[in-house]
Every structure is written in C-alpha cells, then in structure tokens.
C-alpha cells in the first residue's frame, strides 16, 4: 500500500523532443532534469519523430540517474512511477511508456498513466502547494495550442478550444524559415522582434472575426497568418523592396500573441473564472508574458506563469499529477495501457 500522505513519485515525460525525469514528494519538487534533443533537429528545421525517439532511448538512463542524485534518494524510496501516455509523438511516447513499465516492474511499484496537457496545469501545485480552481489554462508549444477549463484537476477538465491547423510554436518555426532565421523559431523571432515595430504590418488574427465567434470562439488558427507573412515577404522581394526583418517578426509575433491572449481572456470572462495559467514552451516568449500580464490586470484576472523550467515539457509535471492521483485515492493504471498520440483531455 502506498501512503496517500506525500508519496514519492517519479515522473517520465517523452512526448516530443525533451526527455524529462521529475521527482516529487507530495507537492514538493525534489528534482527536475531535462535532456533536450533539439540540436539534433536543427538541420531539419523541425522535430523528426524517429530522431526524437532514438534520443529519448539514449538519454533516459543518464537523466534518471541525475534526477535521483538531485533528489538525494534511491529507487527503493520511490513509491510510484508516473508517465506520459499522450498526447504526443507516438514513437517518442512508446520509449517513455516502455521504460516506465519496466521500471515499475523492476522496483515492484504501481504505475500511473498521465495526460500530458492536464499535467501542464498540475505543475502549478509545485509552486504554491495547491491548485486554485476553477482556472483557465492556455497551453502553447510546438505541438499544442489548447485552451482548457479546469474545475477539478482529476475529474473535470474541459477542452474549450485548440488549434485547427498549426500549433503556435510550429507557426513560429515556419515563419523563422521564411525570414531566414534558424531553428527553433520562437527564440529567434523573439530576439529579432525586439528591434522591430509590432504595428508596422497588420497581419490577420485567425478566427477572431464576428463570424467566427459561434463555432470557433475558443479555437485557434495560424495557417492564414503564416500565409499572409509569406506573401508579404514574397511580394516585397518581387518588387525589389527592402524587407525589415525586425518589423515583420514583431508584427507576426504581435498577431500570434494577440490571438492567444484575446481568446484566453474571453474564456475567463465568459466562464466567470478569475484566473489564468500559462504553460508550454512558447511561454518563454517575452511579448506573450507582457501582453497577458497587461490584459489580465485590466480585467481583474489573476495570472499564473510557472518558472520556465516547469513550463516547457518536463517530468516534474508528470510526477505532480501522478502524486495528485495517489493522494486522491485513485487506482493505478493496469500495465496493459498503451500510448495515444491524440489522447483527449
């Protein structure tokens, strides 16, 4: 029997290109170690699933040993294992789930399958001991752009909306290529945009027109914006005009941030929820944090932005949600569970 009081949980995250191992004791973070394979994907301009899966396989053991050392514990002291089983890249998820099952069997401990998106919300518990609900969560990364309504972390998480095409992080990568910037695109566009005018070019904000509000009030779309930026650059080049890369980058970034924050604020106001949590790697974007803070303050909404090491994909968030399941008395997962690249909330 596991003690429901402050169980030690080891979390494994391999949904994309970060190998994350986190260890928590109840609501206390003991270790959070991340090994990224991003450098291996640079020459391809995006994450290659097969390379990501191989990188997880190679990084898991050393990442696990580092996490145990940081936490100052041995495997014998772990009460349970938690692992992401979706959503994410199928091959990458298989590596993590396979390792987690083997580990759970080896140390004779229960295993908990965890939803990656919900775990992003659970990370807030590690910073203040509990999750204030209800809350709206805006999760923005290279693979996901999702808006969640969380009334109860374990039993009542509703997907309000998501991207119907590119994720925001993916759009950043593609526009960085158009502008001749390197991968990953988010940090590069953020860097260049500092010197640009965000009002120089009025790029479209996807699904924000009145006609979109009935069916797509909380959904996102970045394909039209991506096309608009590419056409702007192509047209200028065809005319022999000089292109201000900083202005294009700043204007593009402003369009993405405006759409993200506007819909998140709408969700909070429509649902009567006084708080908003941001999560995902794109939260590193300086302008996103700035605009979210300004608009939340104006509307009287509490804004929660976890430390960046807890925003990007990591094992600590998986361990945190696993610990919450244990402390709530939920049964562990059967060893027969699989991976689901499109696992719903």
Asked if residue 220 has pLDDT above 80, the reply is yes
Q: What is the pLDDT of residues 142-181, one digit of tens each?
A: 889 999 999 999 999 999 999 999 999 999 999 999 999 9
If pLDDT is split at 50, 70 and 90, which confidence band does 5 have?
confident
Query: How far is the CA of 131 from the CAs of 152, 219, 308, 337, in angstroms?
Result: 9, 25, 18, 27
Domain 135-305 top-level CATH class:
alpha beta
Q: What is the pLDDT of residues 59-110, one digit of tens each?
A: 999 999 999 999 999 999 999 999 999 999 999 999 999 999 999 999 999 9
With contact defined as beta carbons under 8 Å apart, do 344 and 49 qualify? no
If pLDDT is split at 50, 70 and 90, which confidence band does 2 have?
low
pLDDT at 46: 84
pLDDT at 156: 98
Query: Which of 31-45, 108-122, 212-226, 288-302 has the lowest average pLDDT?
Result: 31-45
For residues 6 and 87, give the distance between their C-alpha atoms in angstroms, rounded to a whole number: 27
Burial class (CB in 10 A: 0-12, 13-18, 19+), 7: buried
SS3 195: coil
Asked if residue 332 has pLDDT above 80, the reply is yes
**Helices within the chain (DSSP H only):** 38-41, 49-71, 90-107, 116-122, 125-128, 168-178, 185-193, 213-216, 223-238, 245-271, 286-299, 308-311, 315-327
**In CATH, which of 3.10.180.10, 2.60.120.330, 3.30.420.40, 3.40.50.1260 is domain 8-123+310-327?**
3.30.420.40
Joined tokens for residue 201: 């070019």
Asked if residue 3 has pLDDT above 70, the reply is no
With contact defined as beta carbons under 8 Å apart, do 30 and 98 qualify? no
Asked if residue 333 has pLDDT above 60, the reply is yes
Instruction: Tell the residue number behind the tokens 């990953």, with chain if given.
Output: 184
With contact defined as beta carbons under 8 Å apart, do 37 and 51 qualify? yes
Q: What is the pLDDT of residues 193-209, one digit of tens each?
A: 999 999 999 999 999 99
Q: Do 8-123+310-327 and 135-305 agree at the fold level?
A: yes
Q: Which sequence spans correspond to the domains of the chain? A: 8-123+310-327, 135-305
């Amino acid at each position: 029997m596991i003690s429901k009081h402050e169980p030690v949980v080891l979390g494994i995250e391999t949904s994309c290109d970060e190998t994350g191992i986190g260890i928590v004791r109840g609501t206390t973070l003991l270790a959070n170690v991340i090994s990224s394979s991003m450098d291996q994907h640079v020459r391809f301009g995006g994450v290659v699933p097969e390379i990501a899966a191989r990188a997880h396989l190679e990084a898991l053991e050393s990442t696990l040993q580092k996490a145990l050392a940081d936490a100052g514990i041995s495997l014998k002291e772990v009460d349970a294992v938690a692992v992401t089983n979706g959503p994410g890249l199928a091959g990458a998820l298989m590596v993590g789930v396979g390792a987690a099952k083997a580990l759970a069997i080896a140390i004779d401990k229960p295993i908990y399958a965890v939803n990656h998106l919900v775990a992003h919300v659970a990370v807030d518990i590690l910073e203040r001991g509990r999750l204030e609900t209800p809350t709206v969560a805006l999760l923005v990364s290279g693979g996901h752009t999702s808006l969640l309504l969380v009334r109860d972390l374990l039993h009542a998480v509703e997907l309000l909306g998501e991207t119907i095409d590119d994720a925001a992080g993916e759009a950043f990568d593609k526009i960085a290529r158009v502008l001749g910037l390197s991968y990953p695109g988010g940090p590069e566009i953020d860097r260049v945009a500092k010197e640009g005018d965000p009002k120089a070019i009025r790029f479209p904000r996807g699904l924000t027109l009145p006609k979109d509000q009935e069916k797509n009030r909380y959904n996102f779309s970045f394909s039209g914006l991506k096309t608009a930026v590419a056409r702007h650059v192509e047209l200028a080049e065809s005319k022999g005009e000089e292109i201000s890369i900083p202005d294009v980058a700043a204007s593009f970034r402003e369009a993405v941030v405006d759409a993200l924050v506007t819909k998140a604020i709408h969700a909070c106001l429509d649902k009567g929820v006084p708080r908003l949590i941001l999560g995902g790697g794109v939260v590193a974007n300086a302008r996103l944090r700035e605009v979210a803070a300004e608009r939340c303050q104006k509307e009287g909404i509490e804004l929660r932005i976890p430390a960046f090491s807890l925003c990007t994909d990591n094992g600590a968030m998986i361990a945190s949600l696993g610990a919450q399941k244990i402390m709530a008395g939920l049964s562990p997962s059967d060893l027969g569970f699989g991976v689901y690249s499109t696992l719903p909330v």
